[in-house]
Structure 1
Amino acid sequence: MVPHYMIIGECPWLREWYQDGRTVKIAMDAFHPLTLSFTYGDSFPAMRVQDGKPYRGKVYTLSEIMEVIREYGLPQIWNADGQNGPERYIEAQIWDDISLPEEQD
């Protein structure tokens, strides 16, 4: 199984990657908590950068990431320009494939 990647909150920097970038909002409670994991920042630098920041190298549950957000805030707010490190958003990994009914003719 592979995750579906999303982020917590809006990130104008990501929207700028696309000519007509859009935001989709899905409430956290739309997912079972056990199907969610999070990294503080994009998962690749979050797991590889070794700069001593306490949130590095960890994968969080929903309740854990909410505590990290309370402590450090949303990276897209305090690091909008990327000058303070690689964290620009909080990555959400959704480990669930929703089965949709097939279209009927």
Structure 2
Amino acid sequence: MCSPADYLYHYYEKSRGPFANLSDLSEAQADEVLESIRKQNEVMASRRDQGYLVRRRELEGLARELFLLKGGKPVRKAPHYMVVGPCDWLSDWYKESAFVQIPISQFKLDTLSFSYGDLFPTFSPRVNDGKEYRRQIYTYQEILELIQKYGLPQEWNRDGSYGPERYIEVQVWDDGPLGRTVEA
């Protein structure tokens, strides 16, 4: 029987390809790419504010630090991003959306961390609703427990009316399994 956490998904703009990661670029290169995306104004990333890249790097550092404290073994300095299970809402972020799905069995579990929702609202000082999964990074076993307790956000919060969590974000700290993708 399949579990909701059996497959990880990565959504992307088809013309750019999967796993194109701003965090792998220098600050200047990342600024240039993001500015180009803003000028094209065709995808969700064009709406990122000017402080986005700085905050992203802060959150990636925090996620890595918290993951290490839980025994995680990140290989990369900054993660690639995936989500647990399919999430139709993410397809709307792109002009020509595509995704890859990878069985979780392809990953070393100690190279995956999870947040119940996107890192940005999960660690936002403006989100103070007291939910237990705020400001937390989880291991695979821990996220399975949260899924058992709450379900997948993309199922109970399809339109975002119940809060900022719309999916479970996976921070992928190893490039190895990303070459074995099934494109859809």
Asked if Structure 1 and Structure 2 have the same fold, meaning a TM-score greater than 0.5 normalized by the shorter chain, the answer is yes
**Residue 23 of structure 1: how far off its partner (Å):** 2.7
Which has more helix, going by share of residues?
2
The equivalent residue for 1:16 is 92
- CA distance in 1 between partners of 2:140 and 2:91 (Å): 24
Cα RMSD of the aligned pairs, angstroms, is: 1.5
1:72 is aligned, of 150, 158, 166, to 150
Aligned residues with identical type, % of pairs: 54
Q: Which runs of 5+ in 2 are unaligned?
A: 1-76, 180-184
Contact 1:8 1:92 in 2 (8 A): yes
2:103 to 21, 27, 35: 27
Could you tell me whether the CA contact under 8 Å between 1:3 and 1:95 is conserved in 2? Answer: yes
**Aligned counterparts, 1:16-55, within 5 A:** 16-48=92-124, 49-55=127-133
**TM superposition score normalised by structure 2:** 0.52
Corresponding residue number in structure 2 for 1:91: 169
Identify the structure with bigger relative contact order (alpha carbons < 8 Å, sequence gap 6+). Answer: 1
- Aligned residue pairs total 100
Matches of residues 51-62 of structure 1 in structure 2 within 5 Å? 51-62=129-140
Q: Which runs of 4+ in 1 moved over 3 A?
A: none
Q: Report the alpha carbon displacement of residue 73 of structure 1 after superposing the two structures with TM.
A: 0.4
> Which structure 1 segments of 5+ residues have no match?
101-105
